[in-house]
Chain A
Amino acid sequence: MSSMSIGRLGGRRLGALAATAAFLVAACGAGASPSAGPVTLTALFMKQAAYSEDNVKEMTKAFTDANPNIQVNLEFVAYDALHDKIVTDQAGGAGTYDTVLLDAIWPAEFAKAMLVRDITDKIPAEYKNDVFASALAGGAFQDRFYAVPWINDTKFLFYNKKMLSDAGFTTPPKTWDELLTQARAIKDKGIVQFPIVWSWAQAEAAICDWTQLAAVMGGADFVDASGAAKFNGGGALAALEWMKKTIDDGLTNPASTGFLEEDVRNTFSAGGAAFALNWTYMYNLANDPAESTVAGQVSVVGSPGMGSVATSGVNGGMGIAVTANSKHPDEAIKYALWMASKPMQDTYAQLSLPMWKSSFQDPDITKTAPELFAAAATEFTNLVMRPVVPYYTPLSSALQVALQEALTGKKSAKQALDDVAAKLPDLQK
């Protein structure tokens, strides 16, 4: 996509919203390029997790108010439909969208297929200094940027304070072994039948939990530099065997193998579990009396460690990419940078943590959820990527089946993963 020629943004009268907009002009590199007539962008987002639909609508309204020449049509799809929607729309030739939400696992594939633009030159300097490295990594492939980082997310450990104290524990677990000990006590006291709940359905959610566990159980490097499988040994195998054992021991809710994130939230919010691993968004919702029967009992900490590794998190970052087919790339990147700007992120920090490091130093922002910011400050020190390979989607699909086979007892963990390793050359084609 060498035909990109942004670079000369701004120049439009920025009106009264100077504070936010001035930031943006600085961010884009001020210049002059008065585009004639109104431009309509179409932007694709997802329905669940992180910023809510209402958040996105309000952020977008602020953008169009500040840029009356640009209209933005918003579309929201379920996360599980997002990837397919982008590929079929872009590769299929319809080219409806100017910006698309890009998960951290896709830049490699999309860059190789040339569905999204290389926007390395458009990322302002302060991003490199003040945005968490994990958020930047989520939009990058081979040192080039294909998305403006937008969401810096990972899975935290949520726990029910009341259940823990009823079982005689005053502090949350620091290691997974400690967590199992506490879970056992909670189960034995009859406080809840299955103390832990996970999103282990045949979906990407299961890969996220698995990666996060593998990172503290021996390492989450699933494929080595030469493309050979490593997921059938080391931390990956240890983590899967550990996962299966927690089901066999009656500590993990067996329904977890059919659960997505929302099922985890619902079960936890209904008082059906003492521990859950989930994204940031659950914190506010699980403490909202309208959404949760355990509101006020829910606390959050950094994900536990094991052995010498103190904590880990799966990199669940997402960015806003400009599609190769977009007819208005300049306006599209302007919009993406607006959505990612620090003022926007600080304003809407309730459901998604800001990706700006300086926001974590600002007591006005951290006071809204001190526990969550503290948990994030810990866990963001060790966020791991799922494999950054162009064949990630088929690899993930095959691994999801393997996880199901192992967790439901159809195959041993080793056998299930070995079977995927044997198929790996096919997936790499």
Chain B
Amino acid sequence: MAGLTAARRRLRPAAWPEAWVAGAFVTPAALVILLVVAYPLARALWLSVHDVVLTRPGEEPFVGLASYADELANPDFWAAVWRSLCFTIVSTAIELVVGIGLALLMDQPLRFRWLLRSLVILPWALPTIVNALMWRWIDNAEYGALNALLFQTGLIDSYQQWLSNPSTAMWMVIIADAWKMTPLVAILVLAALQGISREQIEAARVDGAGTFTTFRYVVLPLLTPTLLIVLVLRTMEAFKVFDIIWIMTNGGPANETQSIAIYAYQTAYRAYDFGRGSALGYLIALAIMFLAAIYLRLLGRVGRT
């Protein structure tokens, strides 16, 4: 103890108030955050109100909110928003339904429950890129496992172009995303399930409630706070989806899987229009912040109950 006190004395000369010391410790981290968060944000804001095209160096006129207005009036923008929404709603719905089902299963006193729980978590443990590459192989028209399975079981009579057919590509991406993210939902819901006391469920049983009634009127209401959080979290993540689509389809075929994040990337890095790309970045950020605000409110409500 004595040594520690001595060390503390050495570190904190009498002239330094505690707040200064705290400040000194926080400064390096704050500088890093400024550098990697605040500066890019400010720079992107500046870019979004200027006409900056990388292949036209030297001309960067101020254009105000023109880039925002142009995008909001651009049908390509809204088509990308619509695709992101479809992706978000369908994949989140699948993940919630299957995730709850899996959680209920893992909550049962099964013999190999530990094995089931470890296996379920595997897809989530894979990096997104690996998962996307894996699904690109599975969905490959020529040598993919999916075609082989469906063809050999007689469900299809010729190989299908899952990823290059505009009407199936988005579904394939959604399936790949659901495959990866469902375990997260399942684990979170499982944690909530285990927080529900057995007495409540047994009381419902004694009152004559069947399995479904118990789930609908006892378990589900108790799960609601967790489900809401999962819902908002997944919605936020799914809305800004980029990597899994980029690897699997590059936004194709015929832009059919071009999400809003991919649209923004292509505007900035394919057309080199950094002005519009930054404006798009800000529009996406606003949408996500809106979702985040809902998330924070929900968290607050959950905290109070």
Chain A positions near chain B (C-beta within 8 angstroms): 84, 87-88, 91-92, 109, 112-115, 201-202, 254-255, 257-258, 267, 272, 390, 393-394, 397, 401, 404-405, 408, 410
Q: How large is the interface on B (under 10, 10 to 19, 20 to 34, 35 or more residues)?
A: 20 to 34
In Å, the complex CA distance between A142 and B159 comes to 48
In Å, the complex CA distance between A388 and B85 comes to 39
- Chain B residues near A397 (CB-CB < 8 A): 266, 270-271
Whether the Cβ atoms of A405 and B254 lie closer than 8 Å is yes
Whether the Cβ atoms of B253 and A408 lie closer than 8 Å is yes
Interface residues of B in 246-267 (CB under 8 A from A): 250-256, 266
List the count of A-B residue pairs having beta carbons below 8 Å apart.
71
In Å, the complex CA distance between A114 and B58 comes to 11
In Å, the complex CA distance between A257 and B253 comes to 8
In Å, the complex CA distance between A404 and B271 comes to 19
The answer to the question of B225 belonging to the interface, with a C-beta cut-off of 8 Å to chain A, is no
With contacts A114-B57, A401-B254 taken as known, whether A257 is within 8 angstroms of B272 at the C-beta atoms is no
Partner of B254, one of A109, A202, A267: A202
In Å, the complex CA distance between A201 and B270 comes to 17
In Å, the complex CA distance between A18 and B163 comes to 55
In Å, the complex CA distance between A390 and B54 comes to 13
Inter-chain pairs besides A267-B142, A393-B270, A408-B254, 18 sampled, C-beta below 8 Å: A87-B54, A112-B55, A113-B54, A113-B55, A113-B57, A202-B251, A202-B255, A254-B164, A255-B141, A257-B164, A257-B253, A258-B141, A258-B163, A394-B270, A397-B271, A404-B254, A408-B166, A410-B166
In Å, the complex CA distance between A114 and B54 comes to 11
Closest to A200 in B: B164
- Chain A residues near B56 (CB-CB < 8 A): 113
- Chain A residues near B251 (CB-CB < 8 A): 202
Whether the Cβ atoms of B270 and A84 lie closer than 8 Å is yes
- Chain B residues near A401 (CB-CB < 8 A): 254-255
* 27 CB < 8 A contacts A-B: A84-B269, A87-B55, A87-B272, A88-B54, A88-B269, A91-B54, A91-B272, A113-B55, A114-B57, A201-B252, A202-B252, A202-B253, A202-B254, A254-B161, A255-B141, A257-B253, A258-B252, A390-B55, A401-B254, A401-B255, A404-B166, A404-B254, A408-B164, A408-B166, A408-B253, A410-B166, A410-B254
Whether the Cβ atoms of B164 and A258 lie closer than 8 Å is yes
Whether the Cβ atoms of B252 and A404 lie closer than 8 Å is yes
Whether the Cβ atoms of A255 and B161 lie closer than 8 Å is yes
- Chain B residues near A88 (CB-CB < 8 A): 54, 269
In Å, the complex CA distance between A169 and B252 comes to 38
Closest to B141 in A: A255
Decide if the interface of chain B is mainly helix, strand, loop or mixed: loop
Whether the Cβ atoms of B271 and A394 lie closer than 8 Å is yes
Whether the Cβ atoms of B55 and A258 lie closer than 8 Å is no
- Chain B residues near A257 (CB-CB < 8 A): 161, 164, 253
- Chain B residues near A255 (CB-CB < 8 A): 141-142, 159, 161, 164
- Chain A residues near B253 (CB-CB < 8 A): 202, 257-258, 404, 408
In Å, the complex CA distance between A113 and B54 comes to 8
Q: How far is the CB of A392 from chain B (nearest CB, A)?
A: 11
Partner of B55, one of A91, A201, A254: A91
The answer to the question of B213 belonging to the interface, with a C-beta cut-off of 8 Å to chain A, is no
With contacts A84-B270, A202-B253, A202-B254 taken as known, whether A258 is within 8 angstroms of B57 at the C-beta atoms is no
- Chain B residues near A201 (CB-CB < 8 A): 164, 252
- Chain A residues near B55 (CB-CB < 8 A): 87, 91, 109, 112-113, 115, 390
The answer to the question of B165 belonging to the interface, with a C-beta cut-off of 8 Å to chain A, is yes
Closest 4 CB pairs of A and B: A258-B164, A404-B254, A202-B252, A255-B141
- Chain A residues near B266 (CB-CB < 8 A): 397
In Å, the complex CA distance between A397 and B266 comes to 10
- Chain B residues near A404 (CB-CB < 8 A): 166, 252-255
- Chain A residues near B254 (CB-CB < 8 A): 202, 401, 404-405, 408, 410
Q: Count chain B CB atoms within 10 A of each CB in A88, A254, A393, A408 and give the residue with the most.
A: A408
In Å, the complex CA distance between A202 and B164 comes to 9
Q: How far is the CB of A18 from chain B (nearest CB, A)?
A: 43
Q: How far is the CB of A135 from chain B (nearest CB, A)?
A: 25
In Å, the complex CA distance between A405 and B167 comes to 12
Closest to A411 in B: B254
- Chain B residues near A405 (CB-CB < 8 A): 254
- Chain A residues near B270 (CB-CB < 8 A): 84, 393-394, 397
Closest to B253 in A: A404
In Å, the complex CA distance between A113 and B58 comes to 10
Interface residues of B in 184-217 (CB under 8 A from A): none
- Chain A residues near B54 (CB-CB < 8 A): 87-88, 91-92, 113
In Å, the complex CA distance between A92 and B55 comes to 10
In Å, the complex CA distance between A183 and B272 comes to 43
- Chain A residues near B163 (CB-CB < 8 A): 258
In Å, the complex CA distance between A112 and B56 comes to 8
Closest to A255 in B: B141
Q: How far is the CB of B60 from chain A (nearest CB, A)?
A: 12
Whether the Cβ atoms of A393 and B164 lie closer than 8 Å is no
In Å, the complex CA distance between A71 and B252 comes to 41
- Chain A residues near B159 (CB-CB < 8 A): 255
Closest to B57 in A: A91
- Chain A residues near B142 (CB-CB < 8 A): 255, 267, 272
- Chain B residues near A91 (CB-CB < 8 A): 54-55, 57, 272
Whether the Cβ atoms of B161 and A258 lie closer than 8 Å is yes
Interface residues of B in 40-63 (CB under 8 A from A): 54-57
- Chain B residues near A202 (CB-CB < 8 A): 250-255
- Chain A residues near B250 (CB-CB < 8 A): 202
- Chain B residues near A267 (CB-CB < 8 A): 142
In Å, the complex CA distance between A397 and B252 comes to 11
In Å, the complex CA distance between A258 and B254 comes to 11
Q: How far is the CB of A324 from chain B (nearest CB, A)?
A: 10
In Å, the complex CA distance between A408 and B256 comes to 11
